Structure 1
Amino acid sequence: MEINENADLVRKLLDVMEHDILALTGKGVHAGNKVFGAALLRKPDLSLVMAQTNNETENPLWHGEVHLLKCFYEDPVSKQEATRDMIFLSTHEPCTMCMSAIAWAGFDNFFYFFSHQDSRDSFAIPHDLKMLKEVFGLEPGGYNHDNAFWRGRGIFDIIATLPDHEAQPLLDQAARIRDRYSELSSLYQNGKDKNAIPLN
């Protein structure tokens, strides 16, 4: 099923970030985890299937996206919902591990709010870009956003295609979301020396 990249989609993705993922991420950051989260939505009606957040203090592989997949496959809903019928939302552009996990799980898409550059510059977490460069020899944004597995899209890229009267309310909501993530990022950075995450 094709996903309509329009104002309705962006509004729902932002709502899920603001009202579902951020509540979990706030608790996660207070426990020493990073600010990354993810959610699954049904393509036909954009209803929420599940939201989760980073849980690297339990296992360094439990990035927001991978932890979401772990929880999804542990839940009975995974026997009733096909990944090809879902939208994958990531608060931050997925790292190479998470991109691969999304592909292995059978999703044909992902959407993200913050870019890899945001993770490095605004969140002081440069590991995504460093791995792209060191392991794969790729510059920022150098991976194929459209490939045989999935189509990856930034939420702000979609907003940029919308008329002003549709874009402005979304940009206002996005600003509130950015402010909340900035608060949580400061909290994480101030306490990260106390956790045992290898790449903190």
Structure 2
Amino acid sequence: MGKVGDSLLGGTSGRTGRIVVANVYGNEITRIRPKKMSKKPTVKQELIQSRMKESATFMESYKAYACKHYGVRIGMKSCYNLAMTNLMANFEIDYTAKTITPKYPSLSFSKGSLLPPIPLALTSTAPSAIEVNWQDNSGGTPERATDLAQILFAVKDEGNTMFLENTATRSQETYTANLPATVSGKEVHVWLAFRNDEKSNVSNSVYLGTITVT
């Protein structure tokens, strides 16, 4: 049952019939609950639903980070919504082949105004380990030299990702990630971003490329 306080704009919650009223970030909205589908979804609908699920699975490892550090809220769109929009736009559906293919170079996990990283190299000289190298572009600014690297890994053609927060500083120029033994011999996609000490600002993430793990 819906509940009205003072007036519709004065505080409303719950639902009456198919009308749902909710307070979202201080904005009271009403929407119509969709009817339960009695028909089997079409192939197109199934692909769209699968893309949503695959996008959510991809983001699971860095969801908490993205909720704080993917741009800024735009109206009713939260940072999470913006991050999900990036994934949905770049999980490409081929309706003829009935496939969903991630466009890895276009995917991102971090969006902000901090000085972005300059990637140099990816190497794998030890079993299940990836060494990530970047340039110290802090320019002698102490605040930028201590920015911490945030690194995302995605094994090609696998849904889950691995996210490592607050690893090495910008001035250290390198970090070696020890990944699960199951990634040995597989191709891994890598992204890098920085977050400041106060955790109040981040850089845009940068796609570093792929590497086959030793």
* TM-score range normalised by the length of the shorter chain: under 0.3
TM-score (norm. length: structure 1): 0.24
Q: Give the number of the structure whose alpha-carbon radius of gyration is greater.
A: 2
Bigger share in strand: 2
Query: So what's the TM-score if we normalise by structure 2?
Result: 0.23
Higher helix proportion, which one? 1
Higher RCO (CA 8 Å, separation ≥ 6 residues): 1
